[in-house]
Amino acid sequence: MALLQIQGIEKRFGGLRAVDGASMDVHQGELLGLIGPNGSGKTTLLNVLSGHLPADAGSVSLDGKNVLGLNPTQLTRLGVLRMFQMTRVFNRMTAFDNLVVCGLALGLHEAQAYERAEQLLDELKLSHVMYLDAGQLSGGQRKLLEFGACFMVPPRVALLDEPFAAVHPIMKETMSEFIRRRNAAGQTFVLVSHDMPVVVDLCPRSVCMNAGKVLAEGNTQDVLQSPAVIEAYLGE
């Protein structure tokens, strides 16, 4: 059984069908690319999955249990985490303390929170700024810190919406290496990105949406080479 089963999701904004009957499976341990031209409904679908938007129709199940209709806090507890919305950085706390507090809030014991915070800062190449206040970090470092906070307690599935947007190439590399390493260790991801080289590099399988529907899915290279997908991008 798929970890996340998404069936017939519909989301309308007035007369616009932003998501128009999209179905897909996310398997345990996979790094699934979610691609498609601008306005094809990717972000709206992630918002439905994370409980930030109610769906008009369809079903979503996690481990076979219905999770559609739960709010973001409930979904986060179950391990469906949409990044860059659930985390908050406190400017007048150090980078290290920000992670520790996040871990404590998620139920970690102190020693465990310290250990994970240190490890995450090391993995994200932020050890040299760990005792600086978050307010003193660069925009990219803050983004990495927020990103890291999501893994203090690794989610069942991490939904990433354009994580590399406006991130310096060096940090982008750090972030994609992190995603690759965590995925190799079993972490499940859904990655929405416009950066095709990164998607090709990271995601063995992708789903391409167009006009709210799934247009193609399968091996990422094959999906990108499919005539229907090329045509959809040309119309962008």
Residues ≥6 apart with Cβ < 8 Å to 128: none
- Which candidate, 19, 22, 17, places its Cα nearest to that of 44? 19
Rounded to a whole number of angstroms, the minimum distance from the CB of residue 124 to ligand ADP is 26
**Residue 219 dihedral angles phi and psi, to the nearest 5°:** -50, 130
Task: State the pairing for strand pair 31-35/188-192.
Answer: parallel
Instruction: Specify the residue, 37 or 148, whose C-beta has the smaller distance to ligand ADP.
Output: 37
CB of 39 to ligand ADP, least distance (A): 4
CB of 114 to ligand ADP, least distance (A): 37
Contact (Cβ atoms closer than 8 angstroms) between residue 167 and residue 141: no
For the sheet containing 80-82, what is the strand order? 80-82, 157-161, 188-192, 31-35, 205-210, 213-219
User: What is the smallest separation between the CB atom of 55 and ligand ADP, expressed in angstroms?
Assistant: 13
73: CB partners within 8 A, 6+ apart: none
Q: How far is the CB of 57 from ligand ADP (least distance, A)?
A: 16
- The rounded distance, in Å, linking the Cα atoms of 127 and 117 is 10
Kindly tell me which of 13 and 90 has the beta carbon lying closer to ligand ADP: 13
For ligand ADP, give the closer residue by CB, 103 or 212.
212
Question: Residue 107 region, left (φ>0) first, then alpha (ψ -120 to 50), else beta?
Answer: left
Q: In the complex with ligand ADP, which residue's Cβ is closer, 80 or 120?
A: 80
Q: Which is nearer to ligand ADP, 134 or 207 (CB)?
A: 207
Q: At what angle do helices 95-105 and 139-149 cross, to 10 degrees?
A: 20
Q: Tell me which residues touch ligand ADP (CB under 6 A).
A: 13, 16, 18, 36, 38-44
Q: Output the smallest distance, CB 20 to ligand ADP, in A.
A: 10
Nearer to ligand ADP, 47 or 176 (CB): 47
